[in-house]
């Protein structure tokens, strides 16, 4: 993987990573739940989340790194309340999860590939394609025959009316409503517009 571009405050990113040597990072249902719990603790104070999908050996998130003007950014130990590097909370997340995972499964060594992948999202069309790509990943990789049934993605939460910490209103506004959101997801994403930015062997 090429040297990553540093994350910047106020920008949108496709964040992705996988297990070291492509090993599984989620083995049981509780692993997915614990990872999301840690994600809420480490990432949600510093980033808005628009879409995600956790798979057995990798994951995808679409986020926007918050700015110093936004009130949730506190407790990171410098004068502005922000971590010195926007990537630091992600490193903290991966380290916390890896430590618990290694202890549970009696393993040692690095769990995640380093550095984690990040691609800046710079257009509305790419945003919409990326949301769909993220949600369709479980079907693309053969984990399920219909991605809508995969329990560890944001797809159903974005369609639900239940409370969520996802930026549901913003996502649906990008898609011009629920109906168009569902319609777009019925068609497979043209991966020539997505995959060239992601390593070919990222699966």
State yes or no: pLDDT of 76 exceeds 60. Answer: no
Question: How is residue 3 written in tokens?
Answer: 């040297």
* 161 assigned to some structural domain: yes
* Count of domains for the chain: 1
Residue 1 belongs to some domain of the structure: no
Structural domain contains residue 111: yes
Render pLDDT for 166-180 as a digit per residue (tens, 0 to 9): 999 999 999 999 999
CATH at residue 185 = 3.30.70.1290
Between the alpha carbon of residue 188 and those of residues 44, 50, 133, the distances in Å are 29, 19, 8
Q: Is 80 a domain residue? A: yes
Inside any domain, residue 3: no
Residue 5 in any domain: the answer is no
**pLDDT tens-digit series, residues 51-73:** 999 999 999 999 999 987 775 55
pLDDT tens-place string over residues 88-121 = 999 999 999 999 999 999 999 999 998 999 999 9
Q: 140 is in which domain, residue-wise? A: 12-197
In a domain, 91, yes or no: yes
């Amino acid at each position: 993987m090429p040297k990553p571009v540093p994350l910047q405050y106020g920008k949108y990113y496709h964040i992705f990573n996988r297990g070291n040597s492509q090993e599984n990072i989620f083995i049981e249902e509780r692993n997915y739940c614990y990872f999301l719990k840690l994600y809420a603790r480490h990432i949600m104070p510093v980033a808005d989340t628009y879409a995600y999908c956790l798979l057995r050996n990798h994951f995808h998130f679409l986020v926007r790194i918050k700015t110093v003007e936004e009130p949730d950014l506190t407790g990171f130990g410098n004068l502005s309340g922000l971590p010195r590097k926007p990537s630091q909370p992600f490193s903290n997340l991966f380290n916390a999860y890896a430590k618990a995972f290694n202890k549970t499964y009696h393993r040692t060594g690095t769990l995640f590939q380093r550095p984690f992948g990040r691609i800046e999202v710079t257009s509305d069309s790419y945003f919409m394609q990326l949301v769909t790509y993220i949600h369709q990943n479980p079907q693309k990789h053969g984990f399920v025959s219909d991605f809508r049934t995969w329990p560890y993605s944001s797809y159903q939460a974005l369609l639900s009316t239940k409370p969520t910490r996802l930026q549901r209103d913003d996502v649906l506004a990008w898609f011009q409503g629920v109906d168009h959101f569902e319609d777009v997801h019925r068609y497979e994403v043209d991966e020539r517009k997505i995959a060239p930015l992601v390593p070919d062997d990222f699966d």
